[in-house]
Amino acid sequence: MTTQDLGARLGLVLAALASEQQRPAELPALREAVAVTIAEHGDSAVWLAIAVLDGAYPDPFAVVEGRRLFRRVPPLDALRELEKRRPRGWRFGPDVEIVADRVIVDVHHTARTGLATGIQRVVRNTIRHWSEEHEIELVGWESRMRGLRRLSEAERRNALFGTDPHAARPKRPAIAIPWRSRYLLPELAIEPERVPRIAALAEFSGNATGVIGYDCVPLTTAETVAEGMGPAFSRNLTAVSRVERVAAISDAAATEYAGWKRMLAGAGVSGPDVRAIPLATEASFPEGDDDAGLDRLVTDGLPLVLCVGSHEPRKNHLTVLHGAERLWSAGHRFCLAFIGGNSWNSREFEGEVERLRAEGRPVRAISDVDDDVLRAGYRHALFTVFPSINEGFGLPIAESLALGTPVVTSDFGSMREIADGAGGLLIDPRDDDAFAAGMERLLTDADLLDRLRAEAAARRPRTWGEYAADAWEYLVESR
Amino acid sequence: MTDPAVDTSPFAPLIRRLTTLAPRLGVAPEEPAARGAGPLLDAIARRLRELDRADGVWLTLAVVAACLPTADEVRRVRRELRLASEATAYRVLMAATMRSPYGFAAEDVEVEIVDDVVVDVDFCARNRHNTGIQRVVRQTMARWHGHRPMTPVAWSDDLGAFRRLGADELQRVVDWPGSRVSPAPAETGAPTRVVVPWNTAVLHLEVPARHHLPGLAALAEFSGNRVGLIGYDTIPIVSADTVPIAETERFVHYLTLVKHSHRVAGISDTATNEFAGFASAAAAQALPGPTTVSVPLPVDRPDTATATGPVAVAGADLPLVLCVGSQEPRKNQLAVIAAAERLWDAGHRFRLRFIGGGSASFIHRFDEVVARARRRGLSIEVLRGAGDDDLVAAYREAAFTVFPSLHEGYGLPVAESLTFGVPVVTSDYGSTAEIARDGGCLLVDPRSDDEIGDAMERLLTEPETLAALRAQIAERPSRTWDDYAEDLWRELAEPLRGGA
């Protein structure tokens, strides 16, 4: 049920574009005033008028068509044509509200998921700080992804704390239309209905825009991601190319975005400003039972080597298994535990774990653990291993070090940024010998292990408060 | 030199493959070969285990199974060899071979190890399509063939490996005009001759098909061969919103090949810069990425442009404005129509002709806009499926052409127009701006209908401007396919050839 008639919508457009102007009482005069004002204002007004009249954000194609319409025919005729167009299947657009001069934060996915993997952790930690210290409006997308709307209170709680993943959507929410506002996207958007609308908002609406950039793995390490992710992510990037600022989560992520940005010149697009705003390196675990679930991780009381992360090829877990097998064969005594879910193309990993277990090797792979078990595992482990091929950040490294446990990890990219001199033993993850040698050193060289433990203990972790403040400063306040 | 008894054994093809392989790994083949395939495979496996090298594993898998291994397979076999004993190493190779499409059973297959430059021209060998990329490949190969030490190859879909071309395929690649007139007979029933490059350069002049890419990327990463590519553009990434999803899917996997390759020759400075940008992103994973070098395409007219002299067109009282290119959003034809409508309203009179096929999803919208403009009185022709003759005739008739594309690796219609002496209105950035540097073009922001219209208006109303641009075209330096083929060999093949 929509309540806003044409007059109400035209009134909103006029108020946004020319707040000082008196709203004419009669529809013909109102129409005339709105039409002339749109023609004067150009692209941003065309974007606004379509969004308000349709109750749905336009994609870039629709804005360019609207612009051409106002060039081709007199403003009043152009406006009448805009009034006639409707998104497919919608007889009347939903109600709209203009959200002027605000910072709106698009947490559509985070508001509706119980997942707490990398991106959700970053989003939740960030918006918790932002919402404490600044005026922000948390928003998600209407059910058909045609425009943003305010979150319900329950969705808002889930966005912030992840405690209510089944929060009901608001019934028939008004579409929130940002105007002279700032739109921030701290999560990854790849939905086909959502992405072109973000692109048009960024390119045409006149609102300021910024995103958090996690990595460009689907382009730069396509051999390790599932079918469909490359195209979806590439389309995400076409929207990001119109955004003003990308806060990359590490120098490595900034390197990837900067390389991609250089590719844009051929399309005549200058691309966003890219800056590395490194994530927090503090562990966000609540205090808990130090022995929780250790029986699921440790075999026969052996020293524990822990590997955290999903078993996707990029995480290089086959190298971990191979290194461990060589060391077991050479007589070293330790047990190996993986915490993380199976994923795309993890079959070979699963088969290898099965084979090694059948041969009596002390290896376990578990998933679906809560934070208590994860924390206990990090605390109890002799050291952790994380020889990934490419990471925007490498959260398990930060978590391991924050809990005082050394890590064998890759000697480049974000992994080096986090671990170098802070409790990490750096190796080339593509060199099986180097990885096995790194593990062997930490199994046999107690002095080295102690030194790395001391490094980890001495590091001053970067807090989520510091991260959120730096990200805010860059995305909202800097010029 | 082979024993007749060996030749009649059911394992003869395998023994020949192993005999070819053995000396490359430093295994003397004579004695074990005489005892059969098993002892030879055993000797090779022991040697591989001792070497513990990725390139040796790659070569062995490629030759024994006649199939280019994937990166996962190379890593796996290397690990299994390390964990095996001397006596059990051969089992690793047997199991790996059994995992390949044909196992040990590739009977009608001869494998040769080649140290010429290997040039992958699969699509051109097997297809009769001849636009953009295929023209570059065929013009280049026509000039390299017989003059440069190289082996052109196609892809065996059965095996998943490079193979030599048949006579008809070779003709299609190196003598395109001849293949149209009197095609060579197709070779049927001939054994597949698999080509495994070793210690040489492998050049990809095309963007390989999706299912070739895992094997080709592993070749680039592990084989020790140096891999070079022609870099056409990165449109499927940068302008992903304008191409089909499958095209981007193929391209991201192509980028894995690019990432592990050694050298990319871009067809323009713009295309080169796109690949250099991607290569610089690989630093985040500690990969050097390919060296990039610009080898610009020549400004060249269509192959079949033989007619001479201007074409007299009856009743052609209005100047013709020509717009060549497939009808798709990226080519920006709707901006041209919008600009033309404004000029028409201002009283300018001209004909507008579009030549080019269309993507199904876009034609509907395009035709609507054309119909609307025609109702307004504009004279617009749309030629789809036009042949080269129509194209040549149109260039000869045109007052000027308009090509305000949003993204091009090269911008062939700009170059073509210039070869016919016809001035061009084109985009003020990227590869089109590069071509325009040598004169004959008016540059516009393609995202501004007004700028496109203003430039068209100038060429419709200022004969002196049109004449000045024509004079510039006459003065442009010439660059031919001979130049391109020579430059490409020098810049792409030579640096990768190694000791040759």
**3-state SS class at A465:** helix
Whether residue B307 is predicted with pLDDT greater than 80 in this model: the reply is no
A238 vs B240: CB contact, 8 Å cut-off?
Answer: yes
Closest Cα in chain B to A326: B83
For chain B, the domains span 4-107, 112-298+485-496, 320-475
Asked which of A143-147, A342-346, A459-463 is least confident by mean pLDDT, the reply is A342-346
Using the predicted structure, report yes or no on whether residue B300 has a pLDDT greater than 80.
no
Determine the pLDDT at residue A90: 58
Closest Cβ opposite residue B277 in set A196, A262, A313: A262
Pairing of strands B150-156, A96-100: unpaired
Which residues of chain B neighbour A223 with C-beta distances below 8 Å?
A: 71, 214, 217, 253, 256
Taking residues B406-431, what's their average pLDDT? Answer: 95
Residue B178: strand, helix, or coil: helix
Chain B residues in contact with A258 by the CB 8 A cut-off are: 280-281
The number of C-alpha atoms within 13 Å of A85 and in the hemisphere containing its C-beta is 19
- Would you say the CATH fold of A294-458 matches that of A97-280+467-477? yes
Partner residue opposite A68 with nearest CB, options B239, B407, B449: B449
| Minimal Cβ distance to B284: which of A72, A390, A411 | A390
Residue A387: alpha-carbon gap to chain centroid: 22
pLDDT at site B188: 77
DSSP assignment of B467-479 equals: HHHHHHHHHSPP-
Q: Name which of A234, A240, A257 to mutate to probe chain B: the one with the most chain B Cβ atoms within 10 A of its Cβ.
A: A234
Beta bridge partners of B266: B231, B294
| Token digits of residue A129 | 């700080």
CA–CA min distance A223, chain B (Å):
6
Q: pLDDT over 70 for what percent of chain B? A: 94
CATH, domain range A294-458: 3.40.50.2000
**Mean pLDDT, residues B5-22:** 78
Is A326's CB within 8 Å of B82's CB?
Answer: yes
- Nearest of B328, B341, B333, B417 to residue B377 by alpha carbon: B341
Residue with the two structure tokens 């908002």 = A201
Please say if the pLDDT value at position B1 is more than 80. no
What is the residue-wise DSSP string for B401-446?
A: EEE--S--SS-HHHHHHHHTT--EEEESSHHHHHHHTTSSEEEE-T
Lowest mean pLDDT segment, chosen from A112-126, B26-40, B260-274, B433-447: B26-40
**Residues 6 or more apart in contact with residue B56 via CB below 8 angstroms:** B25, B47, B48
Residue A87: per-residue pLDDT: 60
Q: Is B225 exposed, middle or buried (0-12, 13-18, 19+ CB in 10 A)?
A: buried
- Chain B's closest residue to A313, CA to CA, is B72
Cα nearest neighbour of B214 on chain A: A223
Q: Strand pairing partners for A98?
A: A177
Answer whether residue B224 shows pLDDT above 80. yes
Domain positions in chain A: 6-93, 97-280+467-477, 294-458
Mean pLDDT of A94-98: 94
Task: Tell me how far apart the alpha carbons of residues B54 and B73 are, in angstroms, rounded to a whole number.
Answer: 11
Chain B partners of A235 at a C-beta cutoff of 8 Å? Answer: 240-241, 248
Q: What's the CA gap between A477 and A372, in Å, rounded?
A: 38
Disruptive mutation site among A59, A203, A262, A356 for chain B (greatest number of B CBs within 10 Å):
A262
Task: Nearest chain A residue to B241 by CA: give it.
Answer: A235
What pLDDT score does B7 carry?
57
Amino acid A86: pLDDT: 66
> Which residues on chain A are in Cβ contact (under 8 Å) with B447?
268
pLDDT in tens, B111-143: 999 999 999 999 999 999 888 899 999 999 999
Smallest Cβ–Cβ distance between A267 and the set B238, B253, B445 belongs to: B238
Name the nearest CA neighbour of B443 among B469, B464, B481, B420.
B469
Contact A413 B284 (CB under 8 A): yes
Do residue A268 and residue B76 have CB atoms under 8 angstroms apart? Answer: no
Q: Say yes or no for a CB contact (<8 Å) between A218 and B252.
A: yes
CB pair distance less than 8 Å for B241 and A238 = yes
Report chain A's terminal Cα–Cα distance, integer Å: 42
Phi, psi of A383 (to 5 degrees): -160, 165
CA closest to A219 among chain B residues: B252
The answer to whether A389 contacts B329, with C-beta atoms less than 8 Å apart, is no
Out of A101-110, A444-453, B235-244, B315-324, pick the least confident: B315-324
Alpha-carbon distance of B205 to B135, in angstroms, equals: 11
Helix axes A432-444, A317-329, angle to 10 degrees: 60
Mean pLDDT of B373-396: 92
Q: Is B329 in Cβ contact with A266 (below 8 Å)?
A: no
Tell me if A386 sits within 8 A of A318, measured CB to CB.
no
| Predicted local distance difference test score (pLDDT) of residue A48 | 97
Stronger pLDDT, B312 or A431, i.e. the higher one: A431
Residues of A in contact with B217 (CB under 8 A): 223
**Contact of B159 with B194, CB cutoff 8 Å:** yes
Report the pLDDT value the prediction gives residue A346, as an integer from 0 to 100: 86
How far apart are alpha carbons B487 and B275 in whole angstroms?
A: 19
Q: What percent of chain A has pLDDT over 70?
A: 98
- The pLDDT value recorded for residue B234 is 97
CA distance B269 to chain A (A): 9
A220:B273 CB<8 A: no
Record: contact B240-A237, CB cut-off 8 A: yes
**Amino acid present at B129:** H
Among candidates B241, B273, B427 on the partner chain, residue whose Cβ is nearest the Cβ of A235 = B241
CB-based contact B420:B396 (threshold 8 Å): yes
Phi, psi of A14 (to 5 degrees): -65, -45
Which residues in B lie closer than 8 A to residue A256 (C-beta atoms)?
281, 284
CB–CB contact B252 A253 (8 Å): no
Give contacts of A246 with chain B, Cβ < 8 Å. none
DSSP state of A474: I
Identify the residue with better confidence: B69 or B303. B69
Half-sphere exposure of A114 (CA within 13 A, CB side): 7
pLDDT tier at B317 (50, 70, 90 boundaries)? confident
Give the nearest partner residue to A68 out of B274, B329, B338, using CB atoms: B338
**What angle in degrees, to the nearest 10, is found between the helix axes of A27-41 and A75-84?**
100
DSSP states of B264-333 as a string?
Answer: EEESSHHHHHHHHHHHHHGGGGT----EEEE-PPP----TT----SPPP-TT--SPEEEEES-BSGGGTH
Q: Tell me the pLDDT of chain B averaged across its residues.
A: 92
Q: How many CB atoms lie within 10 A of CB A465?
A: 15
List the single range of A223-227, A368-372, B247-251, B472-476 with lowest mean pLDDT: A368-372
The string over A265-303, giving b where at least 16 C-beta atoms fall within 10 Å of a residue's C-beta and e elsewhere, is bbbbbebbebbbbbbbbbbbbeeeeeebbbeebbbeeee
Q: Can you tell me the distance from the alpha carbon of A236 to that of A199, in angstroms, rounded to the nearest whole number?
A: 9
Catalogue the E-assigned strands of B53-169. Answer: 109-114, 117-120, 150-156, 161-164
Beta strands in A167-267 (DSSP E): 175-179, 182-185, 208-213, 245-248
Instruction: Tell me the pLDDT tens digit for each residue of A311-350.
Output: 999 999 999 999 999 999 999 999 999 999 878 788 999 9
Say yes or no: do domains B112-298+485-496 and B320-475 share a fold: yes
Tens digits of per-residue pLDDT, B86-109? 999 999 999 999 998 877 776 778
**Angstrom distance (rounded) from CA A473 to CA A476:** 6
Q: Which residues are registered as beta bridge partners of B204? A: B120, B229
Contact (CB<8Å) B239/A313: no
Whether B278 and A348 lie within 8 Å, measured CB to CB: no
Chain B CA closest to residue A388: B285
- Asked whether B48 and B192 are in contact (CB, 8 A), the reply is no
From chain A, pick out residues whose CB is under 8 angstroms from the CB of B219.
none
- CA gap B43, B27 in Å, rounded: 7
> Is the pLDDT assigned to residue B4 strictly greater than 50?
no
Residues of B with CB below 8 A from A215's CB?
284
**In the predicted structure, residue B34 carries a pLDDT above the cut 90:** no
The domain made up of B320-475 has a fold known as: Rossmann fold (3.40.50)
CB contact under 8 A, A255 and B284: yes
The architecture (CATH level 2) of A97-280+467-477 comes to: 3-Layer(aba) Sandwich (3.40)
B80, two tokens? 């299994």
Note whether A234 contacts B82, CB cutoff 8 Å: no
Distances (CA, A) of A456 to A287, A365, A403, B193, B253: 19, 26, 8, 58, 38
Mean pLDDT calculated for residue range A115-121: 83
Question: Would you call B249 and A228 a contact, using CB atoms and an 8 Å cutoff?
Answer: yes
What residues contact residue B451 under an 8 Å CB cut-off, 6+ apart? B444, B445
A/B interface, count of CB pairs below 8 Å: 167
Partners of B329 on chain A (C-beta within 8 Å) are: 61
Residues whose CB falls within 8 Å of the CB of residue B396, separated by 6 or more in sequence, listed in order:
B307, B309, B310, B311, B420
User: CA of A346: which chain B residue's CA is closest?
Assistant: B72
Determine the average pLDDT of the residues in A212-223.
96
Q: Which amino acid is at B97?
A: T
Q: How far is B453 from chain A (nearest CA, A)?
A: 12
- Kindly compute the dihedral angle of the four CA atoms of residues B361, B363, B368, B370, in this order, to the nearest 10 degrees: 150
Query: What is the pLDDT averaged over residues B200-221?
Result: 97
CA-nearest residue to B246 within chain A is: A231
At residue A183, φ and ψ (nearest 5 deg) are -100, 120
Taking CB atoms and an 8 Å limit, are A227 and B79 in contact across chains? no
Is the per-residue pLDDT at B290 higher than 90?
Answer: yes
* Environment class of B23 (CB within 10 Å of its CB; exposed 0-12, middle 13-18, buried 19+): exposed
Least trusted range by pLDDT, from A3-7, B247-251, B390-394: A3-7
Using a CB-CB cut-off of 8 Å, the residues of chain A touching B78 are 432
CA A456, CA A400: separation in Å to the nearest integer?
9
Q: Cβ of B241 and A258 within 8 Å?
A: no
Chain A hits for B238, Cβ within 8 Å: 237-238, 241, 263-264, 266-267, 269
Residue with tokens 């979806």: A232
Looking at the partner chain, which of B83, B271, B285 has a beta carbon nearest the beta carbon of A389? Answer: B285
Question: Between chains, do B341 and A390 touch, taking CB under 8 Å as contact?
Answer: no
CB B476 within 8 A of CB B289: no
pLDDT at B310: 47
Whether the pLDDT of residue A439 is over 70: the answer is yes
Task: State both tokens at A88.
Answer: 């497919």
Element (H, E) at A353: helix A347-358
Identify the pLDDT of residue B28: 85
User: Across the interface, do B245 and A231 touch by the CB < 8 Å criterion?
Assistant: yes
- CA–CA distance, B319 with B422 (Å, rounded to integer): 13
Over residues B319-326, the mean pLDDT reads 96
Q: Is the pLDDT higher at B2 or at A66? A: A66
Beta bridge partners of B164: B153
Beta strands in A64-166 (DSSP E): 96-100, 103-106, 137-141, 148-150
pTM over 0.80: yes
In the block, residue with structure tokens 């959003």:
B329
CATH of the domain spanning B112-298+485-496: 3.40.50
**Interchain proximity A263–B237, CB inside 8 Å:** yes
